[in-house]
Structure 1
Amino acid sequence: MSLSNVPKLQELYFHPWKLPLETLTLVDDQFYSFIEYLVGSTLSNLLRVQEINSVPILLLTTDVFKHLFLKINDVETDLLRQELLLQIDNNNLIVKSANRTKIKCLFDILKITSDRIFQEGQRIATKHQINYSSFAIPSATPAVSTANTYSTLTVDDQRNSLLKCIDDWSSLNETFFNLKEFKLEEGNNFRLIVKAGTNGIQASIECLCKTIITLGKLHSKLIPSNFYRHLKSPGCKYVNRLLKEQKLEETNRNNSYSTTSSSSSSQLIDNNSQSTTAVVPNRKRTLGSTHKIKSKKQRKN
């Protein structure tokens, strides 16, 4: 997953809903890169040495700094202590306030995003019949299959959620595409198809380059990450066309500016030449007149 569409920690603190849901499924190196992107490499390494390699494990960890106060003698832990702890006297160490605040902020954002998944996409309509009087399951009781259970989100719910995600994503990725005005609007820039089938609610997006992208799911909720990936790929002719049109427009504007500047310079040179030509004869006449006056004075004398 690319982190280019993930806002910084400061923005996520005020708008946690902007965090892509895909980030909650990252593990190992991708997870550590995600943590480093938000709170820095030192705190990411702190999680790495403890093998906290995913969001669920992180959220279930009571105190990530506890590791630093254990009697562990290794170079990596000692380096982390130097970076993350503050010595207040000869014997006591405390976690620097900024580091603890970053982790708390990270926890809050991930918890809100996790709760959002459970509230919007985890309302699975399953009803398990549990017999508390016996551990044995009667043979006549049919097995409950979770493979064909569906989210309570309707087609309209899924559609509205996708459109909101796409709108937010396009606003956040203007700088990534180097486009001055990059806005994705259904009907103008893409066509969204959401419909219910035997395998639940499915969706696809037809890009303006005529490519049809099938959307994936995260915990029964449709997510547009495949569409994002297509737009960022070199194969999307629609984005390539936008970039070429913008480049052509800038070239024409620069050429127009150069032509205007050249014309102005030429006009200025012409005006200066005319002014010089007009002044020189007058100067000659003045000198000539002066010479005649001097000659007359000499004759009188």
Structure 2
Amino acid sequence: MSISYHLDQLPSNVLSLSGYDFFQFIRTTLGEPEAKLLNKISVKTTSSLLLIEDPLDIFNQDIDDEELDTLKEQLCFKMKNDKFLIKPGVTYGFVSLKQALKENLNQQLKHSTKRKQQKQNVNTSSISSLSTPIQEVTTSSLSLSEHKSHVLNLIKKWCNENKESLSLDSFQLEEGIDFTLNIDFEQNSVAQATIKCKCGKVISLCKNNQKIQVSNFYKHPQTIGCSRMQEIKKAQKQIILQQQLQSTISVSQFPASQSCVSPMQIRTDEAINTSAAPNINLVPTSQSKNNAKRRIVSEPERSFSTKRSRT
């Protein structure tokens, strides 16, 4: 039985063979020495055989191995100059086997690709068959003005609920000033809405239960890239600074308390108190001392004069 016959009848699982099954396949297809050679160089799976470029190249290396020398004698011719020439049939066998394995691999890849395409076509056809009733269900029953009013109310509510988290005392996004709302109806009366921020960013709005949702837009003002939001915060800070400045000026201009006493009033009170005080005559200290001396001297003189008069 020729090698080509075996290669035309490759097993269906040939690409996943490994270990004993792989070597048994090599023995049947190429021969026992070829199987031993692949085992010697640790090629033990079909995928490894496909990845290795030439398993016979091992004979061109200067390797000292008795088992490898034995395989070389079986698979090669020894020339007169003591060199070895690989037998052409051995080389052809490996080349043919690898080519057959690659063709088998390509066929399997083509089959898998076709299967994927068929599945995709089936899914596409099933979706297209269901597209009409789905469109009928999702057809909007709200008018353009109702959609617009619904969106604006949602934005107003969000601004009121998030002004504290955004560090803003008063926060309200107004249509035509801070953003532009665009709502259109398609041919199947499905509402499509977008919001264009003043910074230039366009946000597509999604729908839930036939109503437009604004959750996609809420994320944008909280990002650093929204220049309009930065302008709003800057204007808010300027207003706060102006209010603080006005309050400071008003406090500095407030009149002084009337309970404070002026220096003129103090001098007037002192003058009044001085005029009202009683006039007390004080004897000088020197005069009081002289009077005391006079009293001390007059006492002996008085007694002497009394004695003289008695005599």
Q: Name the TM-score, length of structure 2 as normaliser.
A: 0.40
Q: Which has the larger radius of gyration?
A: 2
**Higher relative contact order (CA closer than 8 Å, sequence separation 6+):** 1
- The alignment's TM-score, normalised by the length of structure 1, stands at 0.42
